[in-house]
Amino acid sequence: MSRGTARMTDTKKVSGELFSLTYGALVAQILKDYENVDDVNRQLEKMGYNIGVRIVEDFLARTNTSKCTDFRETSEKIQQAFKLFLNVSPQVTSWSAANDEFSLIFETNPVGEFVELPEKCSNLKYANILCGAVRGALEMVHLEVASWFLQDTLTGDNVTEMRIKFLKKIEDSVQIGRAHV
């Protein structure tokens, strides 16, 4: 009783396209709400941060991963998270001499499918939500980082490059005997 003409669809591709379109609508609305593109960039980063804070638990549960021993191992987990959540596999490259900074290279902007930036938005960091998500997720595992885009295919670059820099390990701030209830 199966239909011979049933069409097979790749649900990951459909989900990715739906996410890209929905994200595009979100960015368009934020652009309407804020007059300054720098304010939009900050809002996208802040939204991403909030997503990262929440999504890290899902990542840890799905991958059954253990604590990273160094920042190189952390970069592999970030790479794994992009594959898990966005179905993209960025290349980890351009490590600093101190091993505290690296780049993620994407062939295309992971959220930029179907997007053309208008000239008035030339300094819009369209995928800034991803920088915020990385920062928020790593903060939840006690790593303070900075993340930003160096290149973006949406602005004419050949690749999209996100830079991630380790700033410091975050120590637990609750002192023994001084916990607030």
Q: What is the pTM of this model?
A: 0.83
Q: Who wins on pLDDT, 152 or 114?
A: 152
pLDDT at 12: 52
Closest CA to 120 of 47, 42, 34, 45: 34
Neighbour-count burial for 123-143, b at 16+ CB within 10 Å, e otherwise:
ebbbbbbbbbbbbbbbbbbeb
Q: Who wins on pLDDT, 85 or 5?
A: 85
pLDDT at 20: 77
Closest CA to 73 of 23, 138, 4: 138
Q: Is the dihedral of CA 67, 73, 78, 80 positive or negative?
A: negative
| pLDDT per residue as tens digits for the range 113-133 | 777 777 777 788 989 999 999
- Work out the pLDDT band at 15, boundaries 50, 70, 90: low
| pLDDT per residue as tens digits for the range 76-94 | 999 999 999 988 999 999 9
pLDDT at 115: 78
